[in-house]
Amino acid sequence: MKKITLLILSILILPLFPISAAAYGWGYEKNKDGSPPDVGFYGPLLEQHDGFYIDKSGDKEIYITFDNGYEEGYTGQILDILKEKRVPAAFFITGHYINSAPELVKRMNKEGHIIGNHSWHHPDFTSSSKSRIKEELDKVETAVAQLTDQKDMLYLRPPRGTFTAKSLELTRELGYINAFWSIAFVDWNTGQQKGWKYAYDSLMSQVHPGAVMLLHSVSEDNALALEKIIDDLRAQGYTFHSLDHLMMKKLLPRGGYWY
């Protein structure tokens, strides 16, 4: 699946500009008018290497993703809500998370969620060799395959959100699609949680069609706000889909390729 997808993407997308050594941290100015954020030249750079941060179709669809570096006791509650509401998600996990919370990893897979790669040790890929990056990703993929029925990994969330044109190229060569995001807020600081309403308002103010939403499951605020977020977005006409759905739309869109 991974190799076939990448082969098709390599045919469909032509290089836009030469590879640069510059290192970047994913970021953008947040829009609060219902439109997607402007990510500047990051967008074409990411697309050149088959990655994504948004569903550009304009459909009122949302993709929920979580980064899981360690466990604070809220992932089970989050999984309960996703199961009750029948919402798929992607969980990008590290080696520490696999070792410390194997039963939750198994549950993610059993309940139909995608498990993505967030590297084993969470290093900075912009200063890592290809062999180091490969080792980091292979360890996660192998460990997940030993724990669950998921025997392959397609999606990568670069550790720390840092990247270069070269790191995007190398991880693509290793069989991964880089998955960034178009909605996020500072939710990972467990010592500065501000209540479910803050999390709710922070996310809902940024909502736009095709959003890829980044959350951290260490946040109690996110766990408490998630059910209302799902219900209220559905009331606005949004539907929730997996990253596989987004990828299929990229490959087989209505009326042609939409990049």
Known catalytic residues are 67, 216
Contact criterion met (CB below 8 Å) for 178 and 163 = yes
Rg of the chain (C-alpha set):
17
- Cα separation of 130 and 106, whole Å? 29
Rounded distance, CA 179 to CA 154, Å? 10
The runs of H, that is alpha helices, within the chain are 2-12, 42-48, 75-85, 95-100, 102-110, 130-147, 165-173, 196-204, 220-235, 243-251
Structure token pair of residue 42 = 């990051």
Instruction: Report d(CA 125, CA 229) in Å as an integer.
Output: 33
Give the DSSP letter string of 53-109: SB-TT--SEEEEEEEESS--S-HHHHHHHHHHHT--EEEEE-HHHHHH-HHHHHHHH
